[in-house]
Structure 1
């Protein structure tokens, strides 16, 4: 499975009163990783990135696995594309530590649904063929959530 790895430096302000990274800060982690990954894969038409053209977040799902305590060393965030369809991009994430010779420690897995959006007409816009090809290099498996409730529950 293709993944983009972002080594994310934590900020002191990410920590909450309990001494671990606050749940809300994970959304900032994911946003920063997306911006870096899309720039690295030159996703966007011509000289514009997908972010310049218009992209909206329409859904987040996060499963917290273990508290992440602040430290000066960066945490790793893997990002991959779980679905590319029409105007929609589903992005998977894993927040973890991995040290040679040690077991991988996973803090969270998540998925965001993004929609390419025409800011002038204020309507969703299909992903262009060039972007589909660039982003396809990051395509991977569905996010391995432990618990997935059905929509009818």
Structure 2
């Protein structure tokens, strides 16, 4: 899937920019597969901050936990580079939120990786799944195009 940087930016309402570190590479001289999951996590946390879910986690002890995640590697990324990591809610319902992720290499000017994560809402006090609070759903709807 060939995307320009502008198309990438239009696809994801939350985008963070990260430098590729020398230590991100493995023995095969490209970014190690685990690093992409860390990049997704950083974008996920920024998304959660934007919809004010992180403050809910602190105040009510209710928040998302990962149920599953996947990564599709399209092109290798090497040092030096800067990547844009985008996050979008591809779907959401009462108790789950699915994020889509994309990684855009500024050096390659290409979408290099895509991924997905499914999260369920969890009440840590009651130790059970719960519905996403309505105000958080409203914040997701306001953030998404």
Give the TM-score normalised by structure 2.
Answer: 0.81
* 1:63 aligned counterpart, secondary structure: strand
Q: Does 1:127 align with 2:136?
A: no
**Structure 1 stretches of 4+ moved >4 Å:** 44-47
Structure 1: runs of 5+ lacking an equivalent: 141-153
Q: Which of 1, 26, 42 matches 1:32?
A: 42
8 Å contact kept, 2:57–2:63:
no
Number of corresponding residues = 135
CA apart distance, 1:9: 2.4
Per the alignment, residue 94 of structure 1 pairs with: 102
**How far does residue 86 in structure 1 lie from its aligned partner after superposition?**
1.2
Cα RMSD, aligned residues only: 2.4
Query: What residue number does 2:85 align with?
Result: 77
For the structure 1 residues 129 and 44, does the alpha-carbon distance in structure 2 shift closer, same or farther, using more than 3 Å as the test? farther
1:18 equivalent in alignment to 2:28 = yes
**C-alpha separation in 1, matches of 2:39 and 2:116:** 12
Residue segments in structure 2 that go unaligned for 5+ positions in a row: 1-10
- Kindly state the Cα deviation for residue 98 of structure 1 after the two structures are TM-superposed: 4.8
Which residue in the other structure is 2:122 paired with? Answer: 117
Kindly state the Cα deviation for residue 2 of structure 1 after the two structures are TM-superposed. Answer: 5.2
